[in-house]
């Protein structure tokens, strides 16, 4: 009985203070970088779903690439600043809890040693808002799928051509209160070779691909050496 009383008291306290409402932190989109490879909170385009080429390898290192996410996070926490005290409702988002799901919403059985769900780091500060104002927002990029998960995803690929990333943002206010968003689901199609250009590219062309091997960015199979200046 005491457990339920404590929860009820906590809810009443939060609502009465109007400081840390339920779902005060939200993820509303996953954004692509702009033409300058910078993540902007107000982009010109938005992707409807992701694409991850499991066969892409960095032509310089030969290593596999992580799948990068850039969620647009919003805070609805209302300012509680006082004349003698700094703002406590500013919110630093510093992690994402991510669960890989199958298209039907179930959790797949992954090989031993592959953790699911898992937590990744990020960093963004969302200022508190004034009462009645719009939510503050920022892009907080992170590693969405580690490259070390590629073999596990290949085992899924024959039966399923896509997965879902269930993402929950987490952080702490400057006043020390923890926040965790509701789940945001991002579908990611899987492929082998769909984003690899078999024709060698120049170093300039390689540099124009913001996130080669994922979404809409084609990666080079190899990079031509720069021309020799006589």
Percent of the chain at pLDDT exceeding 70? 84
Kindly report which listed range (39-53, 93-107, 121-135, 190-204) carries the lowest average pLDDT score. Answer: 190-204
pLDDT at position 133, please? 87
- Tell me the CA distances in angstroms from 19 to 107, 125, 184, one per residue in order: 35, 17, 23
pLDDT at position 68, please? 97
Rg (CA), the chain: 21
Residue 223: Cβ-neighbour burial (10 angstroms; 0-12, 13-18, 19+): middle
Residues 171 and 173: their CA atoms lie apart, in Å, by: 7
pLDDT at position 93, please? 97
- Average of pLDDT values for 181-190? 97
* pTM confidence score: 0.82
Averaged confidence pLDDT in the chain: 85
Which domains are seen in the chain, by residue range?
A: 18-56+67-193 (2.60.40)
Residue 90's pLDDT band (boundaries 50, 70, 90)? very high
């Amino acid at each position: 009985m005491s457990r339920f009383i404590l929860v009820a008291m906590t809810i009443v306290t939060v609502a009465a203070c109007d400081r840390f409402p339920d779902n005060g932190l939200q993820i509303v989109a996953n954004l692509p970088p702009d033409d300058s490879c910078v993540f902007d909170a107000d982009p010109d385009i938005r992707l409807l779903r992701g694409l991850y080429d499991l066969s892409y390898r960095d032509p310089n290192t030969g290593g596999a690439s992580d799948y990068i996410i850039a969620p647009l996070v919003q805070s609805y926490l209302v300012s509680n600043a006082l004349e003698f005290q700094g703002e406590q409702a500013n919110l630093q988002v510093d992690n994402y809890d991510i669960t890989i799901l199958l298209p039907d919403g179930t959790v797949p059985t992954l090989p031993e040693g592959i953790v699911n769900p898992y937590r990744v780091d990020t960093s963004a500060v969302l200022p508190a808002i004034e009462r009645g104002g719009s939510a503050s927002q920022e892009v907080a990029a992170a590693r969405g799928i580690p490259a070390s998960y590629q073999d596990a995803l290949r085992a899924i690929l024959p039966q399923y051509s896509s997965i879902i990333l269930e993402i929950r943002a987490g952080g702490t206010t400057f006043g020390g209160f923890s926040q965790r968003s509701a789940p945001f689901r991002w579908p990611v199609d899987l492929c082998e070779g769909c984003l690899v250009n078999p024709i060698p590219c120049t170093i300039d062309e390689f540099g124009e691909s913001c996130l080669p091997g994922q979404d809409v960015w084609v990666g080079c199979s190899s990079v031509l050496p720069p021309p020799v200046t006589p």
